[in-house]
């Protein structure tokens, strides 16, 4: 069974790599961004609450996020493992994920940390916003999201580094090159 996280700043290629790695390892990729967007689109109570934070470029509160992730990790398709993208982002979310996994007598196998330069990320995200027409990606919101990432997520990375399960990978370069670096870091080439 493979239980992985992929962490990195917005625009570092987490979603792209999560899809590729999950396919190669035969586990489901779970994006909290997709979970949020699905809940917002369906106008669920959690989605309505999450929408106001997403539109401002802020992180959705832990209570809302934890409930969405708990629900997702209790679905049948994660029995053989998962690659979770975008969660946990805060120290309390690390505790919540530990509790969710403990309910299944499970724990994480590894944390993939994609690294990238902030200026490159802003450029990437502005291009993505233009191509995809995403309202939540403009220069101010992107810089705000990067600032929040650095402020709040470093403690998450530190906690997993203390556990010895972080695999750091350079997220810049051609997509195939990054995928091969990730697989090498996992020992799954």
Catalytic residues: 14, 89, 128, 134, 145
Q: Does 12 carry a binding-site annotation?
A: yes
92 is in an annotated binding site: no
Phi, psi of 9 (to 5 degrees): -65, 160
Residue 58 annotated as binding?
yes
Is 160 flagged in the annotation as binding?
A: no
Query: Does 145 appear as a known binding residue?
Result: yes
93 labeled binding residue: yes
- Annotated binding residue at 22? no
154 is an annotated ligand-binding site residue: no
- 187 is annotated as contributing to ligand binding: no
Tell me the HSE value of 74 on the side-chain side, using a 13 A CA sphere: 10
Q: Which two tokens stand for residue 127?
A: 């291009």
Element (H, E) at 82: strand 81-85
128 neighbors 12 (Cβ within 8 angstroms): no
Report whether 69 contacts 95 (CB < 8 A).
no
- Distance separating alpha carbons of residues 152 and 156, to the nearest angstrom: 8
Q: Is 24 annotated as a binding residue?
A: no
Which residues are 167's β-sheet partners? 112
> Number of C-alpha atoms within 13 angstroms, CB side, residue 160?
28
DSSP state of 189: -
Residue carrying the six token digits 């998450």: 156
Residue 128 is labelled as binding a ligand? yes
Binding residues for AMP: 32, 37, 58-60, 86-89, 93, 134, 145
Enumerate the known binding-site residues for ATP. 11-16, 128, 173
Residues placed in the known binding site: 11-16, 32, 37, 58-60, 86-89, 93, 128, 134, 145, 173
């Amino acid at each position: 069974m493979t239980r992985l996280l992929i962490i990195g700043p917005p625009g570092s290629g987490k979603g792209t790599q999560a899809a590729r790695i999950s396919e190669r390892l035969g586990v489901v990729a779970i994006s909290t961004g997709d979970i949020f967007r699905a809940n917002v689109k369906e106008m669920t109570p959690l989605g309505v609450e999450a929408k106001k934070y997403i539109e401002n470029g802020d992180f959705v509160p832990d209570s809302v996020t934890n409930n969405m992730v708990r629900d997702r990790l209790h679905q049948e398709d994660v029995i053989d493992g998962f690659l979770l993208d975008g969660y946990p982002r805060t120290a309390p979310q690390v505790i919540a994920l530990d509790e969710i996994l403990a309910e299944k007598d499970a724990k994480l196998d590894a944390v993939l940390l994609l690294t990238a330069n902030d200026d490159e990320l802003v450029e990437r995200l502005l291009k993505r916003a233009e191509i995809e027409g995403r309202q939540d990606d403009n220069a101010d919101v992107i810089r705000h999201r990067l600032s929040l990432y650095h402020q709040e997520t470093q403690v998450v990375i530190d906690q997993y580094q203390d556990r010895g399960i972080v695999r750091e990978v350079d997220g810049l370069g051609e997509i195939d090159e990054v995928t091969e670096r990730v697989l090498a870091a996992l020992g799954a080439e």
